[in-house]
Structures are given as structure tokens and as C-alpha cells.
Amino acid sequence: MPPPNPPRFYALVPCAGVGSRAGTVGPKQYAPLAGAAVVAHTLRALARVGRLAQVLVVLSPDDDAFEAHVPAFAGWVSRAGGESRAATVAGGLGELARRGARHDDWVLVHDAARCLVRAEWIDALIDACSDDPVGGLLALPVADTLKDERDGRVHATVDRAHKWQAQTPQMFRLGLLQEALRAADPTVTDEAAAVEALGHSPRLVRGALENFKVTFPNDFDLADRLLRTRA
């Protein structure tokens, strides 16, 4: 028999950053891309995932631009963002709990700037991790030779065997993720690293090369072409 209250699935989108590497005027999540803001494409993809109970976007407290850039968004919005990604995600987890999410519910944290994500990739992550004792993340095995750099020169060649490039969403139970972020260094760059620091081993679920994070100026041109090709 299924449990009387099976775990639900929530998406949490940290959207409080400034995108300093992107070279955009203003936060990169609001930069125009293929006829809409970057984050608007991200939220459209999440809206196509039928198993998500709700999508929460976490903004900085002084953000007054989100509603203008995503006027049709029907999910939840919280202005509980912090100075770091970890603080923003932690604020979002608290908001989910206040809105009724339980400790055993799943939270899929997804970068606002991974605007090429597809619903089927998110569904694959849910399928792979919904019965996992820890949770997991989309990721890609590293295909290129890796170099360690010092002062603009190669310091060493790094063995790429067993190396994966982390993507998002990253999917963990709300309670576990809250515990992990409370204990983590504030500079932790993804949720999986915080969970790993507690001694857990998240599951790696193969993602797609197209699910890249729009970060540098040239990334916008590529993302624009790919989104227009899809349309």
C-alpha cells in the first residue's frame, strides 16, 4: 500500500544573484533572450513538469523587477534571498516549510540561468531519485582534458576519469537540505556539496550538454540560437 501522505515535489529557483560575470546591464536572470527574460524560459520549463506541486522563486529583498519580466508566473514568490546562493536557498526552504512543505518532501533546486532545461530531463531526475535514500543531481561526465592553472599557464593535467560536471536541478529532501545548509560553509556553490559534507553520496543522473548555465557573454548568443531553434 502507498503511504497515506506520499512525499511531494517542489521546485526552488534561487533568483537573487547579480550575474557579475555575464556582462549584462542588471541581473542576468532578467536579460532578454529569444523574446523573454532568461528566468522566464526557466520557469516555463518547470511549469511543464506535472509532478511538481509548486515552484518557488526566491528573490533578493529589494527586487522590484521580477513581476515585470515574468508577468504570467503563477507560482510562489519569496523575497528571502541572501548574500550567497546557500543563504538564498536556505531562505527558500524556510518559506516552503511555512507554506506547508514537510521535511520528507523533495525539493528540486534549479538555477534561474539554466534556461534551456527540458521537462523530460527533470522527470528523469525525479524517476531516478524519488526512491533514493539521499537524492541526486543532473550532471555530465567530463569529456575534455582538464588542466590545472597557475598564473595563466598549465600547472598540471588533471585525470578526468570519474569526473562529472554538476548541473541542476539538484533534488534532496527538504529536511536533509536544511540540515546540510545549516552546517555548510556559506561559500558552498551547490546543494550537493553541502549534502556531501554530511557524509552522504548523492546520485549522479546523466543530464544533457544543452543544460548549461548562462554565465558569460558568449553564452547568451548560444542560448538565444538554441531557444529560437526549438521554437
Q: What is the DSSP letter of 6?
A: P
**Would you state the cell numbers that stand for residue 105, as one nine-digit string?**
518532501
Please name every residue paired with 54 in a beta bridge, in sequence order, or none if there are none: 10
pTM of the model: 0.93
Which tens digits make up the pLDDT trace of 79-88? Answer: 999 999 999 9
Which tens digits make up the pLDDT trace of 97-127? Answer: 999 999 999 999 999 999 999 999 999 999 9
Question: 9-230 sits in which CATH class?
Answer: alpha beta
pLDDT band, residue 20 (cuts 50/70/90): very low
Q: From CA 85, how far away is CA 24, in angstroms rounded?
A: 19
Domain boundaries, the chain: 9-230
**Would you state the cell numbers that stand for residue 201, as one nine-digit string?**
553520496
Element holding 41 (H helix, E strand): helix 38-47
